[in-house]
Structure 1
């Protein structure tokens, strides 16, 4: 037994060392502020003749007007659907824009998340291709068409997809869960046919002008370009935002903690499975306990087959194919969520087990073996988050958005390794209260 214990300790120590060694490859990030106020995060990555760019501004769905929920997403969608005529060139419809990117062999996309309006560019760094890709991206950023006929077409597609989604029990469960967790906070707003109908091209232009500003943009560049070239490239990309101003954006409320538990149960005709969502408001990304909570969640439900929830609900009782939990952390406290599907006649048992696992972990905390296993797994997987230019760009953009230290990626494994049981358990108890959980079951009433 002593030999086995010694081997386990040796294996754990080797895992931490191996993960830390891999993490030493985390690239250095250089950061500066452009004359227009844009904050630039640059990583020189010469392995491939590629460049990945992220441009992000405070224009996510949390900025939607309540009666125009979906406005930020509509703006992101329409950024790829045509360019207005300008001194830089004639107008391009959405087909012409797509063909231009295809001809370059480059990629452009835009998306609105809860917090961010994010534009991505991927291109070769061959001088002629890079120059043309930056010129086209700059035109799309400076003069999106927001064409009324194109928006009418896209809105019809959105409505059709929304109507189809309403036939799925998981859609209904997600809506009930968001309503109960966020209780009117913008994180929980839903775009519907009614709110899309209220969105006009003029509303898109006003939203875009108000939120697409160089003064608070975060720009991430990862690839084979030097610092001087990066500075010039950012200036070109954001030149069209020079007249967008920089008026302060209004403060938004925080997600309030739940005062008590909430249970929502609803049948759904024809549902073969019961869809279960259990959770409560969590923490914003900059919360000092965020890292400890990631370790705790790995043990509870984020670690796949090593997690307590998977062990109790799938392996021991066969109630589900999979159960998973996660923290959604942004500028505000996103939800901590446990999600699973099970047969309707087993829903009550599965729900009770989730609550039991959360209570047990809150009352007793992790075991030493669970903590070691979670830390090893997280550290060893860290390198996989940095094994391509695109992934590095994603991680650096996250650092930029949350104003994290520039050595965040490099020190992450060591900070995970340093977490002790009391720190992880205390962080969990501070945030998760098993007496104040939202429990949503759609497709069965336990």
Structure 2
């Protein structure tokens, strides 16, 4: 439920940061100097020094995503994330906004399906740096949750939800998630009733039990020293609540378990839109899956490579059924989905569904060709620098690594792991994870038959 309160997954591997690019100045083949340690508060720290610009990007993440929403109060995680920064001890909502603006800093917060947190981009020059960090500390550690502001934001959320539920893409996304994840947090959705049920007391309790300093991940990328990073990480988390959480708060269920709990089916939803919205997929990959790179390359060939993908060739180039089509894997704490999608005119719905399914089934059976594999690997390796070319992108990466326990050399080994993928490993991985009899098809608009 990616801050829109309706989405279920964190899309893509890399989180985009602020727009200014503070490029890490090092040779392309140099190891990224990522360090990690445990702060005195118990928080996990991920740090990378980047001296190209006098700036720091820092975020603090918690196991406080929508998967922790109580039944009947879906949207609580998002509401809590949204309320942080709208009031703090001795500071109004406007005071906080003006305080960050006066230092040239950018502050934001929010929640996704697995986690929630806050993020700051600030200059490292003084007095801007100290003022921005002090304000972030106050906002994070001493929030004030105002009932009138919560009521205002709830009304906005309800209005946004009502509008979204008129749109075919929202209807498709929600039906798809429900079918893939029955009786699972990834398959639940906010409703007008659940949003209106959330009280200030609920927000306060969620903050106290989920925004725990000893369970936080603090990620820092920018022009500060290791010593400064150590001090800063502890300052930002030492005053937070402390506690324990049962089990793995980010999940860990693999695709076999989640596929066993659902069934392949076709769901038809009528809608007056001119085009049909078609989704096809199943639960497929958790974060840290050992065959992640095999699946990444395989999907690049099937539907992730734009105009050179098989789905694009079959649906657009050969038949002109759509302008665009795609597929991707979305790794999450529990196995996130493999999803393919297309929009087409209503009278082409049945043909588009047939071609999409046939292309996926053929890929399950035969996998890629050697030529396709070579081209995909070249494209992914050649494009890798664009995934880490700014502080914001690096911050998103190391935050993900910290949250999900990926090794510190994950980015250093990324291109080498792509190189290891073979036709056989790509085919076998895709066939393991994508089962024909478990595919869910959702069609909003035209008729499947």
Is the TM value for this pair above 0.5? yes
Deviation at 1:330, TM superposition (A): 1.1
User: 2:434 & 2:88 partners in 1: Cα distance?
Assistant: 48
SS for the counterpart of 1:72 is: helix
SS for the counterpart of 1:127 is: coil
Q: Which residue of 2 aligns with 1:117?
A: 116
User: 1:25 & 1:92 partners in 2: Cα distance?
Assistant: 45
Give the alignment partner of residue 83 of structure 2, picking from 75, 78, 84.
78
SS for the counterpart of 2:436 is: coil
Deviation at 1:245, TM superposition (A): 2.3
User: 1:245 & 1:407 partners in 2: Cα distance?
Assistant: 30
SS for the counterpart of 1:133 is: helix
Cα displacement string for residues 331-385 of structure 1 (whole angstroms, at most 9, x for unaligned residues): 1011110111000100100000111111111111110001011111111111001
User: 2:117 & 2:382 partners in 1: Cα distance?
Assistant: 29
Verify the 8 A CA contact 1:141 1:240 in the aligned structure 2.
no
Q: Which residue of 2 aligns with 1:411?
A: 413
Q: Which residue of 2 aligns with 1:36?
A: 41
Q: Which residue of 2 aligns with 1:289?
A: 291
Cα displacement string for residues 28-60 of structure 1 (whole angstroms, at most 9, x for unaligned residues): 111111122111111111110000002111001
Aligned counterparts, 1:3-402, within 5 A: 23-25=28-30, 27-84=32-89, 91-241=90-240, 244-250=241-247, 254=253, 256-258=258-260, 260-268=263-271, 270-402=272-404
Verify the 8 A CA contact 1:22 1:383 in the aligned structure 2.
no
User: 1:218 & 1:26 partners in 2: Cα distance?
Assistant: 22
Q: Which residue of 2 aligns with 1:13?
A: none
SS for the counterpart of 1:210 is: helix
User: 2:338 & 2:183 partners in 1: Cα distance?
Assistant: 17
Q: Which has the larger radius of gyration?
A: 1
> What RMSD, in angstroms, separates the aligned Cα atoms of the two structures?
1.4
Verify the 8 A CA contact 1:323 1:338 in the aligned structure 2.
yes
User: 2:425 & 2:38 partners in 1: Cα distance?
Assistant: 36
Cα displacement string for residues 177-213 of structure 1 (whole angstroms, at most 9, x for unaligned residues): 1110111210121111111111111111111111111
Q: Once superposed, which parts of structure 1, at least 4 consecutive aligned residues long, lie more than 6 Å away?
A: none
Deviation at 1:297, TM superposition (A): 0.6
Deviation at 1:248, TM superposition (A): 2.5
Verify the 8 A CA contact 2:85 2:140 in the aligned structure 1.
no
Unaligned runs of 5+ in 2: 1-25
Verify the 8 A CA contact 1:213 1:245 in the aligned structure 2.
yes
SS for the counterpart of 2:282 is: strand
SS for the counterpart of 2:352 is: helix
TM-score, length of structure 1 as denominator length: 0.91
Verify the 8 A CA contact 2:34 2:48 in the aligned structure 1.
yes
User: 1:265 & 1:374 partners in 2: Cα distance?
Assistant: 34
User: 2:82 & 2:263 partners in 1: Cα distance?
Assistant: 39
Deviation at 1:400, TM superposition (A): 1.1
Deviation at 1:144, TM superposition (A): 1.2
User: 1:264 & 1:406 partners in 2: Cα distance?
Assistant: 42
User: 2:106 & 2:92 partners in 1: Cα distance?
Assistant: 17
Verify the 8 A CA contact 1:324 1:339 in the aligned structure 2.
yes
Verify the 8 A CA contact 2:216 2:237 in the aligned structure 1.
no
Cα displacement string for residues 108-146 of structure 1 (whole angstroms, at most 9, x for unaligned residues): 111101111121111000131111111000001111111
Unaligned runs of 5+ in 1: 1-20, 85-90
Verify the 8 A CA contact 2:295 2:429 in the aligned structure 1.
yes
